[in-house]
Chains A and B, each alone.
Chain A
Amino acid sequence: MMIQVIDTKTNNLSNVLRALSACKLEFEVIYTAAELRGGSVVVLPGVGAFASCMTSLNEAGFSAALKSHLTRGGKLLGICVGMQAMARFSTEFGQHAGLGFFDAKVEHLAHTSNVPVITPNVNWLPLQSEHGRFAEFNGAHVYFVHSYHMCQFKEPALIAGTVDYAGQSVCAIVDQGPVIGFQFHPEKSGEIGLRILAHSIALLQNTEPMPLSHTA
């Protein structure tokens, strides 16, 4: 199953590509929705601001196309802001609509905490993922660098991994079958990160497509 990586014009693209190569995976980089191939595993990397990520997705036609891609058997892996983009909306610098694949929103870490929080959260934190398809990585340290996080899920069962940051349970992995997202950076999380990346691609390649009525 083909892997297609969207160039969201953000700086972690080349790192994600090198990580995929290190996992011995083949891929192509795509720039517009017209290049999407039926049934492919699409990787959506992202760092920086939510709005600029969405703008770049909208301009290249991906926002509408990804939804139909998923209904036609395609798969999606979002990383960092690429995962956040799959929420309904974000409150980073105003309110911005996301792709809406998860009925959740993206909020500043300090806005959802009762205690002072140092942001950005720049940390290696141990995954709590006892249940679900990432259970084998429970306890693994992965690298986070973010100030906003996905929260207020309508279906909390879609959270496949969390980390504790400043007393707050922060969503680290979302998994709803054909769509997986990581808040952390597997491409910067050492050898275990590469294994998590390879694992997620393998999961997506072997997951049955799910009708999108299942999503937000």
Chain B
Amino acid sequence: MSKQVRVISRLDIKAPNLIKGIRLEGLRVMGDPQTFVCQYYAQGIDEILYMDVVASLYERSSLHDVIRHAVERVFVPITVGGGIRSLQDATEILSLGADKIAINTAAVKQPELIAEIARQAGSQAVVLSVECKREQQGWQVYTDNGREKTGRDVIDWVKQAQQLGVGEILLTSVDREGTRKGYDLELLQAVSDAVQLPIIASGGFGELIHASQAAAVKNVTAVAVADGLHYKRFTVKQIKQQLSADGFAVRTV
């Protein structure tokens, strides 16, 4: 049986709005995330990923409202990332009805937080979000939406995180984010070779074929699409049709 691939809608949130930027900078307000999410749900989206790109304590309750509204209408898995700094932050997000939390900055600063959340909520609820920038050799881990260097090598980091119990890896190429040039396939391949975890490819989707290119990498089980859907350049159905035409199994509704 051919590999099953999910299509995930990534919504970058500056609560209460959906925003979109290029290389995680230069934010543009798109509108009410709920409107977008309900359309994608009707089109057969497989999963929703909210990334709080500001993650200030000030607008935290506004993000919570975004999740609360979504879970009332959208009966597919929801992942929330951005600003999760403690077990309590994670528990709070999950109790609102999110299925998974994505964690980046806090995990880098405090890797044992991964194990702590995994013990409490299960590995399946913990997605390691890795923001990667190309170096001369390999890729470096960044935090704070690609602004802060960590000095850590992506491959070393994902191996360590696997040991600590993450359930999935959201692998974002900061270089490709918002460029529509396609996912960083070498990055996906390198991480796929390093860990036995499902990978969500993120950053760079611009053409339908990009989804299939990413899906062809062994451990990539999902592709995240942001502005390709937000600007209505493609529908969920078109992306799935392409994946299906290229030999991948997709969920049909």
Contacts and interface: CB of A to CB of B under 8 A. Distances in A.
Contacts of B6: 123-124
B219 A47 contact: no
A190 B95 CA distance: 20
B134 interface: no
A194 B75 contact: yes
A122 B46 CA distance: 11
Interface residues of B, number: 34
A11 B95 contact: yes
Contact of A19 (B75, B124, B251): B75
A55 B124 CA distance: 20
B90 to A, nearest CB: 10
A145 B196 contact: no
Contact of B123 (A124, A147, A189): A147
B4 interface: yes
B122 A47 contact: yes
A95 to B, nearest CB: 19
Nearest to B41: A190
Given A11-B94, A145-B99, A147-B124, A124 B4 contact: yes
B97 interface: yes
Given A19-B75, A48-B121, A188-B99, A122 B196 contact: no
A146 to B, nearest CB: 7
Nearest to B74: A190
A49 interface: yes
Interface in A119-176: 119-120, 122-126, 141, 143, 145-147, 164, 167
A contact patch SS: mixed
- Chain A CB within 10 A, most for which of B1, B4, B77, B125: B4
B135 interface: no
A191 interface: yes
Contacts of A120: 123-124, 167-168, 198
Interface string A33-55: 00000000000000111000000
Nearest to B196: A118
A194 B74 CA distance: 11
A189 B46 CA distance: 9
A122 B198 contact: yes
A120 B4 CA distance: 14
Contacts of A22: 75
Interface string B156-170: 000000000001100
B67 to A, nearest CB: 11
B169 to A, nearest CB: 11
Contacts of B75: 15, 18-19, 22, 187-191, 193-194
Contacts of B120: 48
B29 interface: no
B253 interface: yes
Given A47-B122, A145-B77, A125 B196 contact: no
A97 interface: no
A107 B121 CA distance: 19
A187 B125 CA distance: 16
Given A120-B123, A145-B77, A18 B168 contact: no
B221 interface: yes
Smallest CB-CB A-B distances: 10 pairs: A141-B251, A124-B251, A48-B122, A11-B94, A120-B124, A145-B124, A123-B4, A188-B77, A164-B1, A14-B97
7 contacts: A15-B99, A118-B196, A123-B6, A125-B4, A141-B252, A188-B76, A190-B253
